[in-house]
Amino acid sequence: MSEKLQKVLARAGLGSRREIESMIQAGRVSVNGIVAKLGDRLDDASTNIRVDGHSVQVAAPSDVVCRVLAYNKPEGELCTRSDPEGRRTVFDRLPRMNGARWVAVGRLDANTSGLMLFTTDGELANRLMHPSRQVQREYMVRVFGEVNEQMIKNLVRGVTLEDGDARFEDIVYAGGEGMNHTFYVVITEGRNREVRRLWESQGVTVSRLKRVRYGNLYLNKELPRGGWMELELDDVNYLREMVELRPERETMITPEMKKRKARSQKIRRAVRRHEDRVESTDTRKPRPQRRGGEQSVVSDKPAPRRGQGKAGQGRTDAGKPAQRAGGRPGKPGQNRPGQSSSRQKVQGGKPQSSKRQGR
């Protein structure tokens, strides 16, 4: 059965479908010595394909192992493969591979930090990024300026930006002091600087932005800035099933890799306990406490109640869905980890406690 050229190359990890379509349009791809064009299909896996003059080995779908990395992006890194000015990019720290490359699942601005996903399967990346999938992205955002109830209503109901209407699926107030306020916000698409532009439409400025969740996968609090971890098979299949791709049966994670991961986490916990003991005896002003709400990518706590895309809803951890009677996955009803059963909403310019309601 024939497949579109861009789909085959995306599965081979040469980029997302959109990136490969741009490569084809630029004349960088050839098939059997002929420059390819959009719409070309492949009937034979042994076809000679070249990208920028280099031969590309194309494997059958059953021969490709889908791998996914979670990366804690620091501020200042660019979401590009190379920078003419020599600035650091998110790809600089990722592990090298032979015959494949990492494809970013969406982008984050240079001044935005937090959770990014990378995969060797360009088709998976393409589906996760597509707006029709409505995959949730949650951000911790700190804004500077006066925020009142009407602004919050505007942002939830929707405002018109230069590239169309946009809105937050949910906003949770997390405290503040003076003109600085912290919120957790949820969007279901990845338009350029969307979170910042939404807040700017209300006359306030975003001073800090960090992605803490993608779908039901949380940023691992043990993952240092600039660090990465490979997702286990259950987490990979959660992402694949959410976008209606066949489950993966193999993983590149070996028992030895799991042991090294456990040892490194044990060392981090020991260092953190030591730091806490030092802080407790320090007479100086204590450093801010780490936020307890950030959960591991393999967290055993569910995501907030609403909207996990068109599939994969109701997972209590990254690999096991919550079950209702009859065996169907259920929606999680637990609040965000680290918060009480009542959520703080903005009311008349001041936070008030109110239970979070589904919309």
What's the Rg (C-alpha) of the chain?
22
Among the residues of the chain, which ranges form H helices? 5-11, 17-25, 122-129, 149-157, 194-200, 233-242, 255-281
β-strand partners of 354:
343
User: What is the C-alpha separation between 347 and 148, in angstroms, rounded?
Assistant: 7
Active site residues: 109
- pLDDT tens for 102-132 read 999 999 999 999 999 999 888 899 899 999 9
Q: Are the C-beta atoms of residues 9 and 3 closer than 8 Å to each other? A: no
Six token digits for residue 47:
């076809």
What are the pLDDT digits (tens) for 158-190? 999 999 999 999 999 999 888 999 999 999 998
263-287 confidence digits (pLDDT tens)? 565 665 666 677 667 666 654 544 4
Contact 192, 36 (CB under 8 A): no
Domains of the chain: 3-63 (3.10.290.10)
Check pLDDT > 60 for residue 37. Answer: yes
When pLDDT is averaged across residues 43-69 and rounded to a whole number, the result is 77
Q: Write the pLDDT tens digit of every residue in 22-31.
A: 899 999 999 8
- Checking if the pLDDT of 303 tops 80, the result is no
pTM tops 0.75? no
User: To the nearest 10°, the Cα dihedral for 106, 131, 332, 150?
Assistant: 100
346, 152 contact by CB (below 8 A): yes
Higher pLDDT, 206 or 98: 206
